[in-house]
Every structure is written in C-alpha cells, then in structure tokens.
C-alpha cells in the first residue's frame, strides 16, 4: 500500500487563498447560471429579482421560480458528490473509486425509484430512501473488495457489476410503474431541469448535516487513509469509523441523486484536482472539493443550457464528455504494480 499512503499524506501551502479562490469561482458560476439561459437577463435585473424587487415581472419569475432552485440544486449536488468522492477514495484507499463507479449512485437511484413508486407524493422520504440505497451499494462493494484483497481494479470491476444490477432494477421499476420517475431520461443521465425548492430542501438538510459530520471527522479520515492497521495501532476504532464515514458518503451522494439523478464523474474528477491544489489533508480537501464540485456542476449546467439553445441537454451528458476521458487517463496512469496495490 506504499503508493496509496504516499498519495494521501502530501500537503500544499497557501491553502486558505485557494479556498477563497474556489469560493469566488463558485459564486461566479452561480451568477452566470442565474443570468444565462434561453432568455438572458442583465445582472441588474437578476439582482433586483433576488432582492425582492420587480415582483411579478418576467425576469423575477424566471429567476425565482426557474433558475434559483436550479442553481441551489447544482451547488448542493456538485458539492455533495465531490465530498462523497473524497471520503470514499480515502476510506477505500483507492484513487479510482467514486460514487458513480462503485455502485453508490445506482443504489441510491434504485431506492429513490422504489420510493417514488410506493409513495409518489412523499418527496421528503426520497433523500432518506436514496441514502439507504447508496449505503447498500457502498457496503456491498466494500464486502466484495475485502473478500478479494481490496485490489484497486477489483473494486472498480465490482462496482461496475453492482451498478449494472442496480441499473437493471431501476429499469424494472420504471417499466412496471411508468410514473415512478417523471422525466426518467433526465434522471438516468442526470439533470437539473424542473427543480423546485420543495424538492431540493429535504436533500439540502441531509447534505449539510453529512458534510458537517465529515468535517468533524477529518482527522480520523486522514488516519484511515493510511490503512486500517495503522489507524488501529494509533488507538482508533478503525472498522467502526470506516462504516461511519462510508455512511456519510452515502448520505451525501444519495441526497444529491434524489433530486439531480444519476450524475457521474463529479466525485472522481474534483477530488483529484483538489488534491493537486490543497494536498490530502481532509480539513482542507473536503471544503475544496465541495466548492470545486459545486462550481463544476453549475458551470456544466450553464453549458448544457447554452450549447444548443433554445434546446437543452441534460447536464449529465456534458459531465460524461468531461469525465470519461479523465477516467481513462486515470486508468492508464495506474501502471504495473500500482494497479494492484
């Protein structure tokens, strides 16, 4: 595990400034998302609508009822998926792990589909169901990885198999109960169209609580990234902490998926970029990844709206064009013995 340990113990100077720059970038992406779209709005009109002026005008309706929920959703989902990716990669000591790769997303999607089919009006239950499905997915992959020696490529392959099974379950639910998921195409690919504050609010509470809990356990996360044996030798209940942190990662990913669909690659791309910027110390890496994920997803959502305006792409398509080549690069980078650490 030498390469895995080295991967997680480097640090970077100037991290506070980098966090401020990422916050500014996130705010810029959010502002662009509020102003740009099929109907572009001047910044002045957008700010007036946000501050309560111009009530009843077209600009106010567009900003408050169409774009503001969408921006909140993209910021929350991007930040949650990126933070989930950090936790999963650290706990599993695997830089190839991510919510969409190891079955977390698809497990959450299946549970959300079942919840919508059984209780279509209970929106507040969907994040809870998605969390349980995400937790089932990550624990199943963890069990398979431990049984096979936790080789990196084994985790990826096991995750792909689990994702395929859960994906078939989603298709089965939608086939039997066609109204279980409105806008099924957007859900399967990942999309933010048609969000409302009522749909985002329950997930926002879960994301805030899970992210706060992960930050409080950042020191323990750093020690777990060195290996379970090392953590135990330092007096930590490694197995219990591992399960707690994976549950937090599942809560983050599940809550995001409950309203944004099966978005991919945010939890893979952003943690790697954030590590190059702020190092592997989790108290900096988690907020940097959350801000980076929020900025990335919001920027991709703006592109999805503008590339073929007035037609709109699901944001998951844009993410796949960005994330697919990145994942291939990571696979090629894991050469020789490093692949099987």
How large is the average pLDDT for residues 154-175?
A: 84
pTM: 0.87
Residue 55 CB partners (closer than 8 Å, separation 6+): none
The pLDDT tens digits of the residues spanning 125-149 come to 888 888 999 888 888 877 776 776 5
Q: What is the pLDDT of residue 83?
A: 96
The pLDDT tens digits of the residues spanning 100-115 come to 888 888 899 899 889 8
68: tokens are 């503001």
Instruction: Encode burial over 310-324: b for 16+ CB neighbours within 10 A, e otherwise.
Output: eebbbbbebbbebbe
Q: Are 236 and 223 in contact (CB under 8 A)?
A: yes
Supply the CATH classification number for the domain 2-7+22-334.
1.10.3470.10
CA 12 to chain centre: 24
Q: Which range among 20-34, 152-166, 248-262 shows the weakest confidence by mean pLDDT?
A: 152-166
Separation between Cα atoms, residue 267 and residue 337, nearest integer Å: 25
Q: Are 210 and 256 in contact (CB under 8 A)?
A: no
Q: Are 286 and 104 in contact (CB under 8 A)?
A: no
């Amino acid at each position: 595990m030498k390469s895995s340990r080295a991967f997680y113990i480097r640090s970077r100077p100037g991290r506070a400034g980098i966090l401020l720059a990422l916050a500014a970038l996130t705010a810029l992406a959010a502002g662009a998302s509020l102003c740009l779209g099929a109907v572009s709005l001047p910044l002045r009109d957008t700010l007036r609508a946000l501050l309560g002026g111009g009530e009843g005008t077209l600009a106010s309706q567009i900003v408050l009822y169409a774009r503001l929920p969408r921006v909140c959703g993209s910021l929350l989902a991007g930040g949650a998926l990126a933070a989930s990716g950090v936790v999963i990669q650290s706990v599993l000591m695997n830089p190839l792990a991510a919510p969409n790769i190891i079955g977390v997303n698809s497990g959450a999607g299946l549970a959300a589909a079942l919840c919508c089919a059984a209780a279509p009006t209970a929106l507040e239950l969907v994040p809870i169901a998605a969390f349980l499905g995400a937790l089932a997915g990550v624990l199943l992959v963890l069990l398979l990885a431990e049984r096979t020696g936790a080789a990196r490529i084994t985790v990826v392959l096991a995750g792909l198999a689990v994702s395929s099974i859960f994906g078939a379950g989603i298709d089965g639910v939608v086939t039997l109960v066609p109204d279980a998921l409105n806008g099924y195409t957007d859900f399967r690919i990942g999309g933010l169209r048609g969000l409302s504050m009522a749909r985002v609010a329950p997930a926002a509470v879960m994301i805030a609580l899970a992210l706060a809990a992960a930050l409080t356990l950042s020191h323990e996360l750093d020690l777990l990234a060195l290996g379970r044996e090392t953590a135990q030798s330092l007096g930590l209940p490694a197995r219990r902490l591992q399960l707690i942190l994976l549950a937090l990662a599942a809560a983050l990913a599940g809550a995001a998926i409950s309203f944004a669909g099966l978005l991919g690659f945010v939890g893979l791309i952003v943690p790697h970029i954030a590590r190059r910027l702020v190092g592997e110390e989790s108290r900096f890496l988690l907020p940097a990844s959350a801000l980076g994920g929020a900025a990335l997803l919001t920027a991709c959502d703006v592109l999805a709206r503008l590339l073929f305006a007035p037609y709109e792409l699901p944001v998951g398509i844009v993410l796949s064009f960005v994330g697919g080549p990145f994942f291939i690069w990571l696979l090629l980078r894991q050469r020789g013995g490093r692949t099987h650490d």
